[in-house]
Amino acid sequence: MKKYLFALIVAVLPVPAMAAGAGVPLDHIEVDLENKASLQRGMATFVNRCLGCHSADYQRYQRAATDLEMPPELVQEYMIFGDQKVGEQMKNAMSKEDAANWFGNPPPDLSLEARLRGPDWIYTYLRSFYQDSSRPWGVNNVVFKDVGMPNVLEDLQGVQVNHCTPEELLHQGKTEIDPLTGDRMSQCLTVVEGTGKQSVEEFDQTIYDLTNFLAYMGEPYRLESERLGTKVLIFLAIFFVFAFALKKEYWKDIH
């Protein structure tokens, strides 16, 4: 019996998402699905910068509009390119074969990416591209070695260069911001000054918002369940008063 019980407990325990390239320290973020402004900014970045290559087949624009509290007309006007309608899924027109030819690997669907890799991995990945002239797109990535994706946000971040050996790079440690200078404290990767439109903090914020949005896409029902959960608790509290009153009424003649 004990054995079965143990097996049952193990089976229902959540399994933390395993990051590829295990061993590379990841920068930690706290996802905040209540921060609608962040999610809206993240969605804007996603449709502008990612959707051209990656689809999000499980996510409808309409649903995102409701969950992130945006008027569907505005989503239709500013977040949908091409002739898609707000009720459709976030797809793109790139064929898998073309994509595989261009990039080596096709860009995967990102609806469930945050559940697959975890938010920390995505947040670190998107900030870890660095110049590498031996690669087809001129960039490599610390957490995804020899990645087939170009650094599509380089105009915002700037050109990032690596000062470490490959071995050191894998153990570079957390890339925290120095509170005094605002510089990134990692010894390995630095942005060439004047090459990006955003400062390090601004870029980190952009990627935080984007990762937050990807985390939302992985669990769109979570916002809904939290909303529902509150209503159910309120209902139960009110119901309790009536149930209690009724119980008293029933029992009053017996005592």
| Contact flag: residue 117 with ligand HEC (CB under 6 A) | yes
Question: How many Cβ atoms sit within 10 Å of the Cβ of residue 10?
Answer: 9
Size of the site for ligand HEC (CB under 6 A): 23
Considering only 125, 129, 130, 203, the residue that binds ligand HEC (CB under 6 A) is 125
Which residue, 70 or 119, is less far from ligand HEC as judged by CB? 119
| Contact flag: residue 147 with ligand HEC (CB under 6 A) | yes
**How far is it, in rounded angstroms, from Cα 198 to Cα 164?**
24
Q: How far is the CB of 12 from ligand HEC (least distance, A)?
A: 26
Q: Which of 94, 113, 114, 92 lies closest to 103, judged by CA? A: 94
Alpha helices in the chain (DSSP H): 2-12, 36-49, 61-67, 72-78, 96-103, 113-117, 119-126, 154-157, 166-170, 200-218, 220-251
Beta bridge partners of 129: 141
Q: How far is the CB of 92 from ligand HEC (least distance, A)?
A: 10
Considering only 26, 149, 215, 223, the residue that binds ligand HEC (CB under 6 A) is 149
Beta bridge partners of 191: 160
Task: State how far Cα 54 lies from the chain centre.
Answer: 14
Q: How far is the CB of 52 from ligand HEC (least distance, A)?
A: 5
Q: Per-residue contact track with ligand HEC, 161 to 200, x per CB under 6 A?
A: ----------------------------------------
Tokens describing residue 237 = 């509290």
| Contact flag: residue 54 with ligand HEC (CB under 6 A) | yes
Which positions touch ligand HEC (CB under 6 A)?
A: 49-50, 52-54, 103-105, 107-108, 110, 113, 117, 122, 125-126, 147-150, 152-153, 210
